[in-house]
Structure 1
Amino acid sequence: MPDKGWENARFREHFADARPPHDIDRPLIEEAPVAIEINGIGYAVMMATPTDLADYAAGFLLSEQIIADPAELLSTDAQPVADGGWMLRVTVSAGNAAPLLERARLRLSEGSCGLCGIESLEQVLRPLAPVTARLDVSEAALFAAAGALRDRQPLGRTTGAAHAAAFCDGQGRIVAVREDVGRHNALDKLIGHLAIRGISPAEGFILLSARCSFELVQKTVIAGCPVLATISAASTLAAEQARAHGVRLYSLLRSDSVLESRGE
């Protein structure tokens, strides 16, 4: 399994001043189709960076609510395929596999938004149990985490094109970071990493480098994390869903300011 997530490519660099153009090598983030097969059933095809795929498998299944505990994920096997993509085969316990024939669908999603193939509004806005955990996070902790995030993003620093999802403790210390070309994939990788290692999302907060969309709030709710902070702005539905499900939402996090969603 690749461990870096990028490859060099040749470019011609042009300038606004009188300097002549020249050729350079520059790293590009890896993006590949990852076909997810659950107990032999083709479930989804996601565009992702093929790193940390064991974490991704666990986080994806938890976010899809196919499993509720990583112990229900019995095996994971990730293999490259001839066309440049990846096959991610997972085995879950028999009880979890039973509904798959009804739910199975083929999804191709450039941003891995997790909504392609959903057939009704009811499926998108499916009822979720609210987050019951509570965590008091100070602004100082948020600022500390945001200030430390860049140094924990090797793929982002190298390519300038990776999203990051970080889990932080109540004091703003970063516990873990996962990166991906897709912001939703990065969060799934983080959720899977925490679950596999027995780290409770209820005991800290999630920090995302991306815009806060509805689906990212959904994943946070399903993970049971009480606080979500994002570097970019939140959408209307993201803010509504956070309030409805007991998640404190912070957005536009900067070194000296942050917005806390307060409702009407």
Structure 2
Amino acid sequence: MSHQPKPSVFPASIYKYQTGELVQSPDLLAVEEPLEIQLNFIANDEITERKVSVTMRTPGHDFELATGFLFSEGLIKSPKDIIRIRHCESMKKPEERGNVVKVTLRPHVKVDLQRLERQFYTNSSCGVCGKTSIEAIQLTGCPNLPIDAPIITADILLGLPTSLRNQQMVFEHTGGLHAAALFDNKGHLLAMREDVGRHNAMDKLVGSQLDNAEVFHRSIALLSGRLSFELVQKALTAEIPVVAAVGAPSSLAVQLAQSYGMTLVGFLRNERFNVYTHPTRIQM
């Protein structure tokens, strides 16, 4: 049996409080289901299978999510490291069907087993990222970003949230999803992904563009929520030089962006924004 895509919205009957009474009304909810990512690779001349991550996500673009996650965590360098990626259909429980992705790596790809064990633990325990310092990122070899490009005007930057909202079709129906989008410096939308998890939305976005990774180097990423350390780390791994969000950044996110030459913009809404690091890319 071939895999059938899972819906991203779920119909529900709710009660709305209106003019002093509860009125029954139809509604749509954002679907949230677990996704398990399994990795097949060669270790000690033997075929090895390990669970890498369990995350709660909105079904859709699962392969992009898995690819973007493996890339941002340093387990692969490019999509060419992957031989095959598929949904695992031989599941014991019907509800597990479509919720397990199996990724097979090429024989030459070396996998750090200790790092893999740590990654699965931290990603299956309440979403704790396990990275507590910028020094942990430095060990991955992320590059310093060139600080002279891209240049984006304040007017174009101010228009990005509206452009993003106009493309958030599932959010329009449910109000329950995060979004991550990639724009060029003229404000043209290049790609956008949605998910109940902000980290998953970012992984889906990165995974969708890895075949043309050069696009990251001249783009602006816009996030619909706040800027956490891990989201900045994922953007840094993809070498995205400008990251903006409608919400606030954390202190460690600002420190990471400052250290690697990334322009970080927060509170991008209502015709205003804050620039926390490297403002030279923003043209008045």
User: So what's the TM-score if we normalise by structure 2?
Assistant: 0.83
**Which secondary structure does the structure 2 equivalent of 1:98 belong to?**
coil
1:95 matched residue in structure 2: 108
**Which secondary structure does the structure 2 equivalent of 1:234 belong to?**
coil
User: Pairwise mapping of residues 221-240 of structure 1 onto structure 2 (< 5 A)?
Assistant: 221-240=236-255
What is the alpha-carbon distance in structure 1 between the residues aligned to residue 61 and residue 201 of structure 2? 10
User: So what's the TM-score if we normalise by structure 1?
Assistant: 0.88
1:8, distance to aligned residue in structure 2 (A)? 0.7
2:186 matched residue in structure 1: 171
1:27, distance to aligned residue in structure 2 (A)? 0.9
Q: 1:97 to 1:53 in 2, by over 3 A?
A: farther
1:158, distance to aligned residue in structure 2 (A)? 1.0
User: Pairwise mapping of residues 106-121 of structure 1 onto structure 2 (< 5 A)?
Assistant: 106=121, 107-108=123-124, 113=127, 115=129, 118=130, 121=132
Matched, 1:2 2:5: yes
Matched, 1:65 2:81: no
RMSD: 2.2
Matched, 1:23 2:24: yes
Give the paired residue count. 256
Ranges in structure 2 where 5+ consecutive residues have no aligned partner: 41-48, 279-284
Letter in 2 for 1:70: P
Per mean C-alpha deviation after superposition, the further-off stretch among 214-223 and 199-208 is 199-208
Matched, 1:45 2:65: no
What is the alpha-carbon distance in structure 2 between the residues aligned to residue 68 and residue 236 of structure 1? 28
What is the alpha-carbon distance in structure 1 between the residues aligned to residue 223 and residue 211 of structure 2? 20
Kindly provide the CA deviation profile for residues 110-140 of structure 1, in whole angstroms up to 9, marking residues without a partner as x: 6xx461xx3x746983314234243111112
What is the alpha-carbon distance in structure 1 between the residues aligned to residue 137 and residue 229 of structure 2? 12
What is the alpha-carbon distance in structure 2 between the residues aligned to residue 257 and residue 183 of structure 1? 23
Q: 1:11 to 1:109 in 2, by over 3 A?
A: farther
Letter in 2 for 1:250: V
Letter in 2 for 1:44: S
Percent identical among aligned pairs is 29
What is the alpha-carbon distance in structure 2 between the residues aligned to residue 169 and residue 139 of structure 1? 14
User: Pairwise mapping of residues 247-258 of structure 1 onto structure 2 (< 5 A)?
Assistant: 247-258=262-273
2:16 matched residue in structure 1: 13
What is the alpha-carbon distance in structure 1 between the residues aligned to residue 218 and residue 231 of structure 2? 18
Kindly provide the CA deviation profile for residues 200-259 of structure 1, in whole angstroms up to 9, marking residues without a partner as x: 200211000010011010001100010001011111111111101111001100141111
Letter in 1 for 2:205: L
Per mean C-alpha deviation after superposition, the further-off stretch among 88-97 and 241-250 is 88-97
What is the alpha-carbon distance in structure 2 between the residues aligned to residue 13 and residue 124 of structure 1? 50
Residue from 195, 207, 219 that aligns with 2:234: 219
**Which secondary structure does the structure 2 equivalent of 1:22 belong to?**
strand
Matched, 1:125 2:136: yes
Ranges in structure 1 where 5+ consecutive residues have no aligned partner: none
Contact 1:213 1:238 in 2 (8 A): yes
**Which secondary structure does the structure 1 equivalent of 2:208 belong to?**
helix
What is the alpha-carbon distance in structure 1 between the residues aligned to residue 53 and residue 135 of structure 2? 16
**Which secondary structure does the structure 2 equivalent of 1:225 belong to?**
coil
